Amino acid sequence: MLTCFTFLKQTGKITADSFRKSFLEWEAVRFEVDKICREEPFVCPACTPAVSVDGNRKHYRFKNAARSEEQALFDGIFIAKDDEVERFVDYIHSTTNHVSGRGVCGGEWSAARETSQRSLSKIDEEGLELAVCRQGVFLCALNMFRGEIYAYPLYLQNKLANKPITFFAMDVTCEYWPYLNKVAKSCPELQHLLDMKPFLSVFHAKAHDYKCEFKWSGAYQQGAGLTLGEEVEQCNAFLSRIAVTTKHMSKAGHKRPGKPASGPGGHENPTGSDTG
């Protein structure tokens, strides 16, 4: 768009808010053109035999950052709709009668936890839960409001269940998979998620108890090849660089997706950090 302005030799000042609005509208039109051309967004062009999921707590957003009540143009395209995620989490919690606590392995490794308490701080979203394929292509995400609870990766796993996924990788698979088995008993409609194979990310497995590493590590999974399950960490490292911008963005601007082939290789990011 800036190239077009330069080519036409436009002069005068450009109002930041007006330019931001027009840029979002332009992106929306591009997205509709892609839909007409049947270009499905956020799909790995190679394959998706393994999916890696983890949370990024650096991508929080302040409540006072919402400068307007404008409707998001890309609501639900990459980042799932907040109300749908909330309903899913409440359904899982009410059906399974979960017990709050921390996911700990070997007395030294802890990451995810299961709690129903929402943050009362000045932060709105507490971060992003991301799912990427083994090539580092972003597939989907959701806003976290309760920390890294197991119901969040469960939502993403269920959303991706229609894809040919063999391995589901996490850094706390040893705690998540028993949780999934428990949920599947109470929610028969989620039984098909157990068809995927649990995959403890290879490097994180080194920090787990050695028995846990031998049982769950992807390094010992038949058919996994050289898959590490750490691809989401690479993507999180890439996204964390723009967190200083996204935490001050409006809710509508925060949900603007970028190009489907996003990742740490220098491509556009899916969170729309260029629309502060």
pLDDT in tens, 159-171: 999 888 899 999 9
Both 85 and 195 in one domain: the answer is yes
pLDDT in tens, 85-138: 999 999 998 888 765 545 556 544 445 555 545 555 676 678 889 999 888 888
pLDDT at residue 79 is higher than 80:
yes
User: Stretch 195-210: mean pLDDT, rounded?
Assistant: 91
pTM of the full predicted structure?
0.73
Both 157 and 21 in one domain: the answer is no
Residue 18 resides in a domain: yes
Spatial contact of 130 and 53, defined as CB atoms under 8 Å apart? yes
User: Stretch 246-258: mean pLDDT, rounded?
Assistant: 59
| pLDDT confidence tier of residue 61, bands split at 50, 70 and 90 | confident
Both 158 and 30 in one domain: the answer is no
Spatial contact of 200 and 194, defined as CB atoms under 8 Å apart? no
Residue 162 resides in a domain: yes
Both 33 and 144 in one domain: the answer is no
Question: Residue 174: which H helix or E strand, with range?
Answer: helix 173-186
The predicted pLDDT at position 188 comes to 92
| pLDDT confidence tier of residue 242, bands split at 50, 70 and 90 | confident
Residue 274 resides in a domain: no
Both 3 and 117 in one domain: the answer is no
Both 17 and 75 in one domain: the answer is no
Residue 271 resides in a domain: no
As a 3-state breakdown, the chain gives helix, strand, coil percent values, each rounded to 5, of 40, 15, 45
Contacts 24+ apart (CB under 8 A), 31-34: 31/74, 31/77, 31/257
Residue 270 resides in a domain: no
Both 28 and 159 in one domain: the answer is no
Both 4 and 116 in one domain: the answer is no
Half-sphere exposure at residue 225, Cβ-oriented, CA atoms within 13 angstroms: 6
Least confident of 103-117, 205-219, 227-241: 103-117
Both 196 and 73 in one domain: the answer is yes
* 11 φ/ψ angles, rounded to the nearest 5 degrees: -125, 170
The predicted pLDDT at position 194 comes to 95
144-171 in b/e form (b: 16+ CB < 10 A) is bbbbbbbbbbbbbbbbbeeeebbbbbbb
Does 11 or 127 have the greater pLDDT score? 127
Percentage of the chain beyond pLDDT 90 is 26
Both 81 and 138 in one domain: the answer is yes
Both 123 and 139 in one domain: the answer is yes
**What is the overall mean pLDDT for the chain?**
76
Does 38 or 113 have the greater pLDDT score? 38
Residue 131 resides in a domain: yes
Residue 185 resides in a domain: yes
Instruction: Please state the domain count of the chain.
Output: 2
Both 193 and 158 in one domain: the answer is yes
Residue 266 resides in a domain: no
The predicted pLDDT at position 86 comes to 92
Note down the domain range covering 104.
43-254
pLDDT in tens, 186-202: 999 999 999 999 999 99
User: Stretch 1-26: mean pLDDT, rounded?
Assistant: 66
